[in-house]
């Protein structure tokens, strides 16, 4: 057997991903060692329920309920944080960095909320902080942006970065399910949590978009600066109309520069042309399209969640951390994000085309009233569609495709239209996202 160098690490959290890291290192640890020359050894594992994990076959001598034992062990050089949340996890990561331990985390919410502070602390202490697993599961998007695209200005990133919502929208579009039925199916299959709020409201993707914005532009956008919208209001009417017009509806995380060099960061369900690859990403899969000023368009596709996919990214970070320790490479992890760009652009100033669905009284004068309001706000109409209704019907759906306008103007026009007596229910407003190179 080859004489590999051993790097001891402490694993905090043995949930779905943590268990994946443990079992997959047992499975492929020798492969990692043969490729890197380093054997990764889990010396201590911090959990909340000792009995649960010893019953599952984890050796009792590895387990503790106090993560401080990991940090205080001089043989443990790397801390892997997989406990989730933003309170105890923050304390753990901060304490580990102050103890000069390398840190690997998959905690997107922690980074979105405390990333500025933790990255600054890691730089001060000259220890690396790794977080590949925090965005898009098994897709190596962090490493790609930080290393492979070091010579590029990042012009834009468009990502399907939440598998739960993509599964729901796929099943609604392909099987004709309602939102509620598709969500229930996702929960039955384990693709959605019992409480799916973080996913379906868009905030899981929002946290990831904040991280991608920092990597691309060196700016930690505050949570309150990010416009996030979920998918619960999408119906079969929207999906069918989008298909008829050559579009699919996807929840997109968008990070890009506008023409004034300001930064957009938002998450919204959007109409995407079916001529684009993103329109055909189905099920729980993720895809991230990155546009660089030199390389052009690059696309990263793969499993965005799940035990094996996410643990694969954690193990990759572990191997990098161990290699840096053995070779005394410090915090050499690709380029350091820099702030040479403008401010975060308020969502009201962002520009796109739009799809607007209205439930209206089926009578004369309705379209004229709506058109007048849109014209007053400087918004042109590309097309109007009204599905046929029965002779005795008193209401109908009205679908409008609208010219480019700021989101602020469009929102104001929608709100004014909503106050018309002829409008029934809540209008659905979606962006029509024009991807670079696509019409």
Q: What is the pLDDT of residue 104?
A: 96
**Selection from 101-105, 134-138, 190-194 with the highest mean pLDDT:** 101-105
> Is the pLDDT higher at 145 or at 2?
145
- Look at residue 32 and tell me whether its pLDDT is greater than 90: yes
Q: What is the pLDDT of residue 52?
A: 85
Q: Which DSSP string do the residues of 308-340 spell out, in sequence order?
A: HHHHHHHHHHHHHHHHHHHTT-TT-SSPPP---
Between CA 283 and CA 277 the distance in angstroms is: 14
334 band by pLDDT with thresholds 50, 70 and 90? very low
Q: What is the pLDDT of residue 330?
A: 54
Average pLDDT of the residues of the chain: 92
- Look at residue 337 and tell me whether its pLDDT is greater than 70: no
Q: In 3-state terms, what secondary structure has residue 121?
A: helix
| Residue 362 near residue 394, CB atoms below 8 Å | yes
pLDDT in tens, 383-410: 999 988 777 778 999 999 999 999 999 9
195 band by pLDDT with thresholds 50, 70 and 90? very high
Q: Which DSSP string do the residues of 215-263 spell out, in sequence order?
A: HHHS----GGGSEE--STT--HHHHHHHHHTTEEEEEEEEEEE-TTS-E
Q: In 3-state terms, what secondary structure has residue 135?
A: coil
- In this structure, the chain runs to a length of 439
- Tokens encoding 392: 């005795």
49 band by pLDDT with thresholds 50, 70 and 90? confident
Is-catalytic flag, 101? Answer: no
| Residue 354 near residue 433, CB atoms below 8 Å | no
Catalytic residue among 143, 208, 250, 439: 208
Residue found under tokens 């191997």: 319
pLDDT in tens, 231-246: 999 999 999 999 999 9
CA gyration radius, the chain? 24
- Tokens encoding 305: 């969640």
Least confident residue range of 50-64, 97-111, 168-182, 360-374: 50-64
pLDDT in tens, 107-157: 999 999 999 999 999 999 999 999 999 998 889 999 999 889 989 999 999
- Look at residue 255 and tell me whether its pLDDT is greater than 90: yes
pTM to 2 decimals? 0.92
Least confident residue range of 29-38, 126-135, 329-338, 407-416: 329-338
439 band by pLDDT with thresholds 50, 70 and 90? very low
Between CA 368 and CA 222 the distance in angstroms is: 41
pLDDT in tens, 274-284: 999 999 999 99
91 band by pLDDT with thresholds 50, 70 and 90? very high
C-alpha to C-alpha distances, 433 to 251, 252, 253, nearest whole angstrom = 11, 9, 11
Domains (range + CATH), the chain: 5-138+307-326 (3.40.50.720), 146-303 (3.30.360.10), 347-433 (3.30.70.260)
- Look at residue 162 and tell me whether its pLDDT is greater than 70: yes
- Tokens encoding 319: 């191997």
Q: What is the pLDDT of residue 388?
A: 80
| Residue 206 near residue 327, CB atoms below 8 Å | no
């Amino acid at each position: 057997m080859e004489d590999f160098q051993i790097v001891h690490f402490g694993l905090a959290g043995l949930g779905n991903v943590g268990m994946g890291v443990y079992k997959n290192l047992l499975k492929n640890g020798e492969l990692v060692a043969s490729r890197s020359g380093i054997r990764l050894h889990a010396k201590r594992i911090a959990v909340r329920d000792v009995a649960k994990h010893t019953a599952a076959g984890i050796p009792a001598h590895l387990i503790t309920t106090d993560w401080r034992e990991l940090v205080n062990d001089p043989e443990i050089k790397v801390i892997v944080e997989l406990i989730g949340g933003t309170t105890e996890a923050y304390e753990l990561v901060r304490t580990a960095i102050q103890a000069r331990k390398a840190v690997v985390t998959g905690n997107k919410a922690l980074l979105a909320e405390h990333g500025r502070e933790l990255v600054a602390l890691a730089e001060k202490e000259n220890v690396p902080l790794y977080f590949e697993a925090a965005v898009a599961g098994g897709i190596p998007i962090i490493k790609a942006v930080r290393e492979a695209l070091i010579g590029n200005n990042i012009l834009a990133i468009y990502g399907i970065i939440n598998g739960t919502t993509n599964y729901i929208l796929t099943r609604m579009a392909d099987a004709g399910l309602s939102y509620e039925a598709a969500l229930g199916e996702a929960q039955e299959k384990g693709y959605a949590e019992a409480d799916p709020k973080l996913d379906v409201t868009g905030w899981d993707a929002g946290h990831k978009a904040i991280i991608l914005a920092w990597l691309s532009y060196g700016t930690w956008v505050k949570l309150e600066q990010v416009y996030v919208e979920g998918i619960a209001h999408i119906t079969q009417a929207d999906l069918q109309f989008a298909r008829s017009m050559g579009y699919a509806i996807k929840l997109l995380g968008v990070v890009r520069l506008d023409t004034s060099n300001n930064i957009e960061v938002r998450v919204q369900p959007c109409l995407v042309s079916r001529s684009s690859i993103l329109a055909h990403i189905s099920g729980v899969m993720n895809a991230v399209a990155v546009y660089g000023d030199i390389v052009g368009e690059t696309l990263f596709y793969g499993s965005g969640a799940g035990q094996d996919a996410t643990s694969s990214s954690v193990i990759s970070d572990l191997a990098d951390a161990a290699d840096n320790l053995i070779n005394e490479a410090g915090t050499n992890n690709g380029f350091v994000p820099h702030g040479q760009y403008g401010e975060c652009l308020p969502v009201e100033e962002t520009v796109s085309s739009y799809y607007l669905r209205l439930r209206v009284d089926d009578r004369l004068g309705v379209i004229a009233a709506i058109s007048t309001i849109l014209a007053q706000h400087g918004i042109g109409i590309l097309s109007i569609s009204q599905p046929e209704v029965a002779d005795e019907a008193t209401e109908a759906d009205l679908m409008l495709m609208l010219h480019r306008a700021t989101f602020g103007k469009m929102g104001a026009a929608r709100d004014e239209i909503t106050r018309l007596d002829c409008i029934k229910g809540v209008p659905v407003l979606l962006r029509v996202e024009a991807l670079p190179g696509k019409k």
